[in-house]
Chain A
Amino acid sequence: MSVLLDVQELQTRFQVRKGYVYAVNGVSFKLEEGETLAVVGESGCGKSVTMLSLVRLLPPAASIENGKVLLRGDDLLQIDQRQLRDVRGGQIGMIFQDPMTSLNPFINIGTQMSEPLIYHRGMSKKEALARSAELLEMVGIPDGEARLREYPHQFSGGMRQRVMIAMSMSCEPAVLIADEPTTALDVTIQAQIVELVKELRDRSGVAVIWITHDLSVVAGIADRVIVMYAGYIVEEAPVDALFEDPRHPYTVGLMGALPSLEGDTGTRLTTIGGSPPDLEDLPDFCPFHTRCPYSIDRCRTENPMLEPVADASDRGHRAACWVDIREVEVQSNGAGASS
């Protein structure tokens, strides 16, 4: 496998009235050809800003302070606007959480779907429409040709998400970035979308970055997982290793907090007390220390780097933590402040 996307030391911050919000703080990861990488973490941890930084789709208040984003060797942070337009929707396809905001309510589906095909693939309007109808059928919307004349509000939430998937895949991208594409959908529809993306991925070989806050979804779709907290990657591992041998206390906490569909229900859920830190300063301590049941003195004075874990089953298993949690007994249920 060769590396398709290589993100190095990415740093993005927002200018706000009082100073800065440090949203992404030195994030590095690689994506291999054909691989599915999941990015998890709670609200505000920087998942979306990281992905928007890759394709430079940030709001004006944001600035990328440092880093490289190498797509097959070209740094996306250095190329000019015209090249960037070729990348977006061309080599990199994107799907967002709320398909209603990404589709224009006043333009029919056919016109919206043909645009990227005309722009990136140089098709004629007629060719593009024919291809769009095929794409709709491919994502499970029957009568593709007739539905091209319809407007977004005539589609259900799940169907709009299918349209977005069809559009993002239309130019046969090398990378598909899916930012919480199923969060707003019902469970049965969510399952349909996950299966659809898996099927398209297996057929086309596209590499996928799947952002979610739901660890259960990750189990079914990812090869590798990145866990983010407060703008940092705190753990990275192949999916099996992450679930069977999590090493960062935050990952451990997230797993324990999930009720499951099997096993004993009499037990209390593990909680992570407190809430995530605000991001007004770059911390010179572990950003998780106020909520961490394993914390030691060092955690309050030095921020750990992401490093390979001891006795890993896989070389790619890394965590940012001063403590080897396997050697520590934690008495209780969760951490810090309250339970």
Chain B
Amino acid sequence: MSQTDNGNSDALVRVENLTKHFSVRIGAYGETKATVHALDEVSFDVQRGETLGLVGESGCGKSTAGLTLLQLHRPTSGKVFFDESEVTGLSDKEMRPLRRRMQIIFQDPYSTLSPRMTIGNAIGEPLWLHELASGQEAQERIAELLDDVGLNPAFAFRYPHEFSGGQRQRVCIARALACEPDFIVCDEPISALDVSIQAQIINLLQDLQEEYHLTYLFIAHDLAVVRHISDRVAVMYLGRVVEMAPKEKLFENPLHPYTNALLLSVPVPNPRQERQREHTVIQGNVPSAISPPSGCRFHPRCPLAFEPCDHEVPEWREVESGHWVACHAV
């Protein structure tokens, strides 16, 4: 579960200095070219069988991290290793056998399913694509997958509009499971669902992980959910990972001022505690990824900022076993 001394002995996925910049045009008429620093020099690994949670506010680069890691975006620089071999730089053809092993589930179960395809076909598509099964065998596999995610196999002939949001997310999960992956990026898989339905999906993902020895990168902005499901947690701010640790350490002893601020921002579902709790809310807005602040990107909002923070990028270092942080004050 946690990192060993050399840092990556049983890592299924490892990213090194992964960077993704987007070129965009801004201004009312798109007259100015600009670069979005969506992901900058990010390094982490995901151990076999674990869930690494990735949290941070909207636009901080969580989805970009997931998509670039899966080579669905071409990285600007940096490396990605999957099962010990480098995948950055592979051609589409060389990537294909690996694609089967790395899947993604998206936030929005409404737009990811084609409205004109039965859910049986949606789930079966990866089977045909990767030539894993066909005919009767494929039908049986689809029924099995539906059953795995808690849906009635008879639903295979229905269309997405006949299902609720939670049921559609189950279909997306079944589809991701179809080609027996080792690794799944779950990109906010429950954010669009109601609380009562969220819990069903979290439990389902946990059961499937156990049954099929899956490794997850679980992206979310809800800290309580991430705490519940993860073994380790990485916190992102404006394109960089600022802290990473086993979840107990991260939630009980956060070292980075931003992690701390995030934890203080989350209301606790207990009125007596809420009344007593200190409400130091962090000021200011999240700056733009087009012109990120110099030095430590958190410095304009950081209550602890001091001399080096506005010009020196803090180093990403392991301050105690398994606990990584990038901050001049730590």
The B-contacting residues of A in range 35-67, CB under 8 angstroms, are 42-43
- Neighbouring B residues of A259 by C-beta, 8 Å: 199, 202, 224-225, 227-229
Q: Mark B263-306, 1 if CB is under 8 A from A, else 0.
A: 11111111111110001011101100000000000000000000
User: Are B272 and A339 in contact, CB atoms less than 8 angstroms apart?
Assistant: no
In contact, A271 and B269 (Cβ under 8 angstroms):
no
Chain A neighbourhood of B267, CB < 8 A: 191, 194, 214, 216-217, 219-220
Given the known interface contacts A187-B266, A190-B265, the answer about A275 and B166 at a Cβ–Cβ threshold of 8 Å is: yes
Q: Looking at the assembled complex, report how far the CB atom of B100 sits from the nearest CB atom of chain A, in whole angstroms.
A: 28
Complex Cα–Cα for A236 and B283 (A): 35
Whole-angstrom CA separation of A219 from B275 in the bound complex:
8
Known: A159-B285, A217-B267. A188 touches B196 (CB 8 A): no
Indicate if the CB atoms of A257 and B57 lie closer than 8 Å.
no
B203 touches A339 (CB 8 A): yes
> B221: which A residues are within 8 A, CB to CB?
186-187
- B94: CB under 8 A from chain A? no
Q: Are B271 and A188 in contact (CB under 8 A)?
A: no
CA distance in complex: A320, B249 (Å): 43
User: Does any Cβ of B come within 8 Å of A254's Cβ?
Assistant: yes
**Bound state CA distance, A194 and B274, in angstroms?**
12
Contact in complex: A257, B269 (CB < 8 Å): no
Establish whether residues B227 and A188, one from each chain, have CB atoms under 8 Å apart when the complex forms. no
The listed residue (B251, B261, B281) touching A261 by CB distance below 8 A is B251
Cβ of A51 to closest chain B Cβ, rounded Å: 19
List residues of chain B with CB within 8 A of the CB of A275. Answer: 164, 166-167, 197
Say if the beta carbon of B150 comes within 8 Å of chain A.
Answer: yes
Known contacts being A243-B269, A258-B195, is A188 close to B200, with CB within 8 Å?
Answer: no
Q: Which of B58, B196, B262, B270 contacts A254 (CB 8 A)?
A: B196
Number of inter-chain CB pairs below 8 Å: 134
List the A side residues contacting B98 at CB < 8 Å. Answer: none
Do A195 and B266 form a contact, CB below 8 Å, given A158-B285, A257-B198, A265-B227?
Answer: no
Asked if A156 is an interface residue, CB under 8 A from chain B, the answer is yes
The docked-state distance in angstroms from the alpha carbon of A311 to that of B242 is 51
Count A interface residues, CB 8 Å. Answer: 46
Which residues of chain B (235-279) have a CB below 8 Å from chain A? Answer: 247, 251, 261-275, 279
Interface residue ranges of A209-248 to B (CB < 8 Å)? 213-220, 222, 239-240, 243
Interface centre among A158, A254, A256, A269 (most CB of B within 10 A): A269
Q: Tell yes or no: A123 within 8 A of B by CB.
A: no
* Given A43-B194, A275-B166, A338-B150: A219 and B268 interface contact (C-beta under 8 Å): yes
B143 CB-CB contact with A under 8 Å: no
Q: Could you mark each residue 265-277 of chain A with 1 if its beta carbon is under 8 Å from any beta carbon of chain B, else 0?
A: 1001111110100
CB-CB contacts below 8 Å: A286-303 with B: none
Given the complex, which residues of A lie within 8 Å of B196, measured CB to CB? 42, 253-254, 257, 271-272
Write out the residue numbers on chain B whose beta carbons fall within 8 Å of the beta carbon of A272. Answer: 196-197, 199-200
CA distance A194 to B277 in the complex (A): 14
Q: In the complex, what distance in Å separates the CA atom of A29 from the CA atom of B229?
A: 38
**Cβ A192 vs Cβ B281 within 8 A:** yes
Which of chain B's residues has its CB closest to A250's CB?
Answer: B196
Check if A195 sits within 8 Å of B195, measured CB to CB. Answer: no
Q: Is A87 an interface residue (CB 8 A)?
A: no
A189 at the interface (CB under 8 A from B): yes
The CA-CA distance from A214 to B200 in the complex, in Å, is 17
Q: Are B195 and A188 in contact (CB under 8 A)?
A: no
B247 contact set on A, CB distance < 8 A: 265
- Closest chain A residue to B277 by CB distance? A220
Residues of chain A within 8 A (CB-CB) of B261 are 188
* Between-chain CB contacts (< 8 Å), 24 pairs: A42-B196, A43-B194, A158-B285, A187-B265, A188-B286, A189-B285, A192-B281, A192-B283, A214-B195, A214-B267, A216-B266, A216-B267, A218-B269, A219-B273, A220-B275, A240-B272, A257-B198, A258-B195, A259-B227, A259-B229, A261-B268, A265-B247, A273-B200, A275-B197
Which 7 A-B pairs give the minimum distances between C-beta atoms? A259-B228, A257-B199, A191-B265, A42-B194, A269-B199, A186-B57, A272-B196
